Amino acid sequence: MDLPKLAIAALGGTVSMQARNANEGVIPTVSGETLLASIPELTNLAWVTVDTLGLLPSASLDFEFLLSVLSWANFQIRQGAVGVVITLGTDTLEETATFFDYLWDHDEPLVLTGAMRSAAQAGADGPANLLDACLVALAENSRQRGVQVVVNGQIHQASVVRKTDSLALQAFSSPIFGPTGMLVEKTVRYLRQPAQRRVLPLPQQTTQKIALLEASLSADTLLLENILDLGYDGLVIAAFGAGHLSKSWADVVEKITEKIPVIIATRTGSGSTAQSSYGFMGSEMDLIRKGASMAGFLCPRKARILLWLLAGCQCQDKLANYLNEDTRFQN
């Protein structure tokens, strides 16, 4: 029988890393073809094409490179692929997944995976994660789910997944929402129906700059005061609690919102910003009156990506719609 077509791209990351010499740290050296050879059973499930698009640690990825990867993925779908898998480093996997999810307009799944143990370590998790990701990409019930992250037998929605441990094998979770599915005896099982998605147009420019600052106890306002002079086109603040700042920061934010959009997210790692609970100077109600937008469940890093994409297609005026009506969080 005819096998479905599956496309795999390797970008680098720990899943591709080995040490060239003893007592040296691991670096990206393993190609996508070599990774594919580690899971020979896949050849019985699909006709697989693999491209090594980069051998980079994920901290060195940038938006322009990711747009070129997205173009490659779009081409694979046009060529008949039923799904696309991308392997990359875990350091920025959650941000990369979100970036793609805002732009992926196909019913076919785009699945991201990586590894916490290098290819040279005993018990390397890369081959298992790659096989699982391929099974998810090939599954009929993965359609219309946008971009997903597959690690350690779990399937996570791009919009909510986070790396919550620096070195542990179980490094990824989806706070509040939990995984959207799992693999059971190589069968893809989903725990809920696909969420309705809104996809952004491709950015027409890539030179926009979005700053991300974190509020901290007794922090000065020097960086904040210079955001406009430094030429930033938007600002995201990882704020205290449910979206709170000191009075001194709030006073500066009021001046900034007159020129560029400002998103207030929570730095806590879980939960949503508030809208109408607190009324003190620097509270969420005060910041909204001062012109800032609340991120809701969107974490600061993902909020920055959304604002960068909106600025790139001149859609900053639609920010409130994407924050308040994002159906990715309505499962």
Interval 11-29: pLDDT, tens: 998 888 887 776 778 888 8
Instruction: Identify whether the C-beta of residue 263 lies closer than 8 Å to the C-beta of residue 295.
Output: yes
| Structure-token pair, residue 71 | 């173009």
The model's confidence at residue 325, banded by pLDDT at 50, 70 and 90, is low
Of 123, 155, 190, which marks where a domain is finished?
190
Q: Do both 48 and 124 map to the same domain? A: yes
Per-residue confidence (pLDDT) for residue 199, from 0 to 100: 94
Most confident of 25-34, 81-90, 317-326: 81-90
Q: Per mean pLDDT, which range of 131-140, 190-199, 229-238 is the poorest?
A: 190-199
Q: Do both 19 and 131 map to the same domain? A: yes
**pLDDT, mean of residues 40-69:** 96
The model's confidence at residue 123, banded by pLDDT at 50, 70 and 90, is confident
Is 262 within a domain?
A: yes
- The single residue listed with the structure tokens 């909106």 is 310
Burial 150-178 (b: 16+ CB within 10 A, else e): bbbebbbbbbbbbbeeeeeeebbbbeebe
Per-residue confidence (pLDDT) for residue 121, from 0 to 100: 87
Decide if pLDDT at 111 tops 70.
yes
Is 300 within a domain?
A: yes
Of 140, 162, 190, which marks where a domain is finished?
190
Counted domains in the chain: 2
**pLDDT, mean of residues 56-75:** 97
Is 196 within a domain?
A: no
Q: Do both 13 and 87 map to the same domain? A: yes
Residue type for position 177: F
Is 203 within a domain?
A: no
Q: Do both 215 and 168 map to the same domain? A: no
Is 283 within a domain?
A: yes
Residue range of the domain that includes 306: 210-329
As a whole number, the mean pLDDT across the chain is: 94
> What is the C-alpha separation between 181 and 146, in angstroms, rounded?
14
Q: Who contacts 188 (Cβ-Cβ below 8 Å, separation ≥6)?
A: 135, 136, 139, 141, 142, 155, 181
Per-residue confidence (pLDDT) for residue 30, from 0 to 100: 85
Q: Do both 218 and 268 map to the same domain? A: yes
CA end-to-end span of the chain, whole Å? Answer: 37
> What is the C-alpha separation between 285 and 274, in angstroms, rounded?
8
Q: Do both 233 and 94 map to the same domain? A: no
Q: Do both 93 and 12 map to the same domain? A: yes
Task: Return the percentage of the chain with pLDDT > 90, whole number.
Answer: 85
Is 305 within a domain?
A: yes
Q: Do both 248 and 214 map to the same domain? A: yes
Per-residue confidence (pLDDT) for residue 49, from 0 to 100: 95
Q: Do both 144 and 220 map to the same domain? A: no
Q: Do both 152 and 257 map to the same domain? A: no
Is 69 within a domain?
A: yes
Of 139, 155, 190, which marks where a domain is finished?
190
Q: Do both 21 and 164 map to the same domain? A: yes
Is 200 within a domain?
A: no
Decide if pLDDT at 154 tops 70.
yes
Give long-range contacts, CB 8 A cutoff, 24+ apart: 116-119: 116/14, 116/90, 116/167, 116/168, 116/169, 116/171, 117/14, 117/169, 118/14, 118/15, 118/17, 118/18, 118/19, 118/26, 119/15, 119/16, 119/17, 119/18, 119/26, 119/30, 119/35
> What is the C-alpha separation between 52 and 49, in angstroms, rounded?
10
Decide if pLDDT at 326 tops 60.
no
Decide if pLDDT at 327 tops 70.
no
> What is the C-alpha separation between 133 and 209, in angstroms, rounded?
33
Q: Residue 102's domain is classified under what CATH number?
A: 3.40.50.1170
Q: Residue 307's domain is classified under what CATH number?
A: 3.40.50.40
**pLDDT, mean of residues 22-48:** 89
Q: Do both 175 and 245 map to the same domain? A: no
Per-residue confidence (pLDDT) for residue 1, from 0 to 100: 64
DSSP 98-118: HHHHTT---SS-EEEE--SS-
Per-residue confidence (pLDDT) for residue 331, from 0 to 100: 47
